[in-house]
Amino acid sequence: MINFEKVFKRYPGNLDALQNINLEILPAELVFVTGPSGAGKSTLLKLISSVEKPTSGTIVFENMNLSQLQPRDIPYLRRKFGMIFQDNKLLYDRNCFENVSLPLAINDIDGIDINRRVRAALDKVGLLNKEKIMPISLSGGEQQRLAIARAIVSRPSILIADEPTGNLDKEYADEIMNIFYSFQQVGVTVIISTHELPITPIKFKKIHLIGGELNNQINNVQLLS
Amino acid sequence: MFNYFHNHIQALNRALVRVFSNFGSSLMMFIVIGVTLFLPSSGLLIVENVSQISNNIAYDAELSLFLKKSIKQDQIDFIQSALDKSLIIKKTHFESKLTAWDKLQSKLNLNPLDTGISENPLPDAFFISLNTFNEKEINTLISNLKNIDGVKNIFFDAGWVKKLRSILYLLKIGLFLLGSILIIVLIVVISNTIRLQTLTHKDEIEVSKLIGATNSFIQRPFMYTGLIYGLGGGLITICTLKLAIEIFNKASINLEAMLGGTFILKSLGWNQNLGIIIVAMLIGCFASFFAAQQSIRKFEIFK
């Protein structure tokens, strides 16, 4: 599904964020990108979702070479991903319903379908009763759940979450992780960057980065054995 | 296709919300556009009114065609028939030299014996009323008439109308230049306002880009905002013009006795009013498109 081949990412000032990355992510996989701060976890996720362009190397997603993508094609590619950010990037001048409906409006979905799908997404994350509330009045965990609802409302095949539990206490973090696991169980590829590997019985792949380099790429099946 | 229009309606809704949620500043923008467009529009109003007067006068313009003294009656008949055939001549009046001489003598109380004039000095003449003021057609007619045997002189009696026309033409050029400069001013003002709006909606633009919005999708509400500004400004221009006409005409009627006549300004036609609104909306749309495009490019996240 996603293939990285000899991928380098260098930012101005000769900072190599990623060096010689080779990896493969399969459909419906649960992937954890781990590593300390500055290891290149966020950069890796940005390269997958075409928020950043690799300096060299090839990234292939569904037979598309993302390195050679024309700028006009990028918005259409991004619609295939559901993205969740550490700071959740909610729009605080719009209520929960309007925040979640934004990707559907971008995808030219009609009004009746928008209502139905937004309510389904809010229901999935347990916020259906708060659709008219402004995000500022939600707790940290609820805000992150709202961000998840926005990411899943357009039914993406890949969910990408950049440290989604970074600002949450353990109880909220477990709640959020369980939502991600439930999506993976129904066939969605879930890629999560995190400082610490969560404890889960579900089969997952771990991509560990140190200083921009791939330390190892192992499955928890191997870890357990 | 339905979804495309639905998307436009949503963008229009968002623009309306933006305009009415900051109604104070939106009203200021309407007034700025309205007052700026009032200047060239009032100029257009004056030129249109004066043009109408000059057009009415133009229909009374006359050609005076003086014939040679030695002309014979059959030549006069030939000229008369030639004039009758011309489509741009409304009517002709032939004044024979004898009739003209009699009229002159009776008007000035002259006696030929007293003045020592032994023969009639006046020529036969045609006085021609024209039903056009097209300079090219009139010049063609004059040159054709000049070629007829027996015609001595032709005078076009509308020289001052011509001058008035030239002044109006110059005024129109001046108004066009003034209008162009003011349009540039408006584009700069509206662009700056929209640019500031893009800054206040920076988060929304960034999030929209991250989740797959095209630049045109993001630009759309800003363009509709520009259109609404233009519509509001255009309506203010038209209302201000109406008010100015009312005030002027009332003052003109009040001064009738003192001046011995009135000059009543006529309102611009519905098509001209519509033209003002369309121009204002196009200015708003163009300025906001330009400003939003520049700003959205600055927020480009794909590096």
Q: Same domain for B284 and B203?
A: yes
Same domain, B292 and B197: yes
pLDDT tens by residue, B280-296:
999 999 999 989 988 88
- What per-residue confidence (pLDDT) applies to A225? 42
Chain B residues within an 8 Å CB radius of A83: 210-211
In A80-169, alpha helices (H): 96-106, 111-124, 140-152
Element (H, E) at A214: strand A213-219
Q: Are residues B260 and B240 in the same domain?
A: yes
Answer whether residue B167 is part of any domain: no
Q: In the sheet where B125-130 sits, what is the strand order?
A: B89-95, B125-130, B62-67, B151-156
DSSP H or E stretch at residue B90: strand B89-95
Residue B7 is predicted with a pLDDT of 77
pLDDT bracket for residue B158 (50, 70, 90): low
Q: What integer is the mean pLDDT of B214-226?
A: 91
Question: Does residue B107 sit in the same domain as residue B256?
Answer: no
CA distance B5 to chain A (A): 9
Considering only the beta carbons, identify the residue of B204, B217, B301 that sits closest to A51. Answer: B301
Nearest CA in chain A to B205: A91
Across the interface, whether the CB atoms of B2 and A110 are under 8 A apart is answered yes
- According to DSSP, the residues that pair with A32 across neighbouring strands are A192, A206
List the domain range (segments joined by +) for residue B266. 2-56+178-298
Determine, for residues A91 and B209 on separate chains, whether the beta-carbon distance falls below 8 Å: no
- Measured distance CA(B300)–CA(A185) in Å, rounded: 35
Among B157, B186, B208, give the residue marking a domain's end. B157
Q: Is B167 in the A-facing interface, judged by CB distances under 8 Å?
A: no
Please check whether residue B47 lies inside any domain of the structure. yes
Q: What is the pLDDT of residue B259?
A: 64
CB-CB neighbors (< 8 A) of B217 in chain A: 106
Q: Tell me which chain B residues have a C-beta less than 8 angstroms from the C-beta of A91.
A: 203-204, 207
Instruction: Estimate the crossing angle of helix B23-58 against helix B2-21, to 10 degrees.
Output: 100
**Minimal Cα distance from A109: which residue of B?**
B3
For residue B141, being part of any structural domain is answered with: yes
CATH classification of the domain holding B141: 3.30.70.3040
Please give the structure tokens belonging to residue A114. Answer: 């928008």
Is residue B28 in some structural domain? yes
Work out the minimum CA distance from A201 to partner chain B, whole angstroms. 31
Amino acid (one-letter) located at A168: L
Distance from the Cα of A164 to chain B's closest Cα (Å) equals: 16
- Residues of B whose CB is below 8 A from A150: 211
d(CA A155, nearest CA chain B) in Å:
12
Q: Which of residues 189 through 208 in chain B touch A, CB cutoff 8 A?
A: 203-204, 206-208
Q: What average pLDDT score do residues B45-63 get?
A: 71
Tell me, what's the pLDDT at B145? 85
ipTM: 0.85
A112: chain B residues, CB-CB within 8 Å: none
B190 shares a domain with B137: no
Compare CB distances from B210 to A51, A53, A108 and report the shortest one's residue: A51
Q: Quick check: is B170 in a domain?
A: no
Residues paired with B92 in a beta bridge: B128
Three-state secondary-structure class, residue B205: helix
pLDDT at residue B83, as a whole number: 86
- Residue B165 resides in a domain: no
CB contact under 8 A, A52 and B212: no
How far apart, in Å, are the Cα atoms of A165 and each of A158, A161, A175, B143? 18, 9, 10, 94
- State the residue for tokens 């701060």: A37
In whole angstroms, what is the distance from residue A86 CA to residue B274 CA?
A: 52
Residues B142 and B232 in one domain: no
Q: Which residues contact B13 (CB under 8 A, 6 or more apart)?
A: none
Residue B68 pLDDT > 70? yes
Quote the CA–CA distance of B238 and B33 in Å, as a whole number.
Answer: 11
Q: Is residue B241 part of a domain?
A: yes
Assess whether B199 and B124 both reside in one domain: no
Q: Which of B157, B186, B212 is the last residue of a domain?
A: B157
CA-to-CA distance for B95 and A76, rounded, in angstroms?
A: 86
Chain A residue with minimal CA distance to B18?
Answer: A93
Identify from B211, B299, B301 which residue to disrupt to test chain A contact, counting A C-beta atoms within 10 A and taking the largest count: B211
Is B116 part of the contact surface with chain A (CB cutoff 8 Å)? no
Give A123 or B161, the one with higher predicted confidence: A123
Does B173 map to a domain?
no
Together in a domain, B90 and B11: no
Number of domains in chain B: 2
Contact B6 A102 (CB under 8 A): no
Task: Provide the phi-psi class of A199: left if phi over 0, else alpha when psi is between -120 and 50, else beta.
Answer: beta
- The answer to whether residues B40 and B185 belong to one domain is yes
Digits of tens for pLDDT over chain A (225 positions)?
888 888 999 888 767 888 888 888 988 889 999 888 888 888 999 999 888 888 999 999 888 888 888 888 889 989 989 999 878 889 998 899 999 999 998 888 877 888 999 999 999 888 889 989 999 999 888 898 899 899 989 888 899 999 888 777 787 788 888 888 888 888 899 999 988 787 777 888 888 888 888 877 665 555 544
pLDDT-derived band at B57 (thresholds 50, 70, 90) equals low
Burial B190-218 (b: 16+ CB within 10 A, else e): bbebbbebbeebeebbebbbbbbbbbebb
Give the A:B interface size as CB pairs under 8 Å: 58
Same structural domain, B189 and B287: yes
Same domain? For B263 and B285 the reply is yes
Does residue B303 sit at the A interface (CB-CB below 8 Å)? yes
Say whether A106 and B207 touch across the interface (CB within 8 A): no
Cα angle B96, B100, B102; round to 5 = 120
Q: How many Cβ atoms sit within 10 Å of the Cβ of residue B120? A: 16
Taking the C-alpha atoms of residue A17 and residue A57, their distance in angstroms, rounded to an integer, is 14
| Count of CB atoms situated within 10 Å of the CB of B241 | 23
B78 and B49 together in one domain: no
Q: What is the mean pLDDT of chain B?
A: 84
| pLDDT in the model for residue B163 | 73
Q: Last residue of some domain: B125, B157, B189?
A: B157
Q: If you average pLDDT over residues B221-231, what whole number do you get?
A: 93
pLDDT given at position B45: 86
pLDDT digits (tens, 9 = 90+) for B86-145: 888 888 888 888 888 888 888 877 776 666 677 788 888 998 888 776 778 888 888 888
Mean pLDDT value of segment B199-226: 89
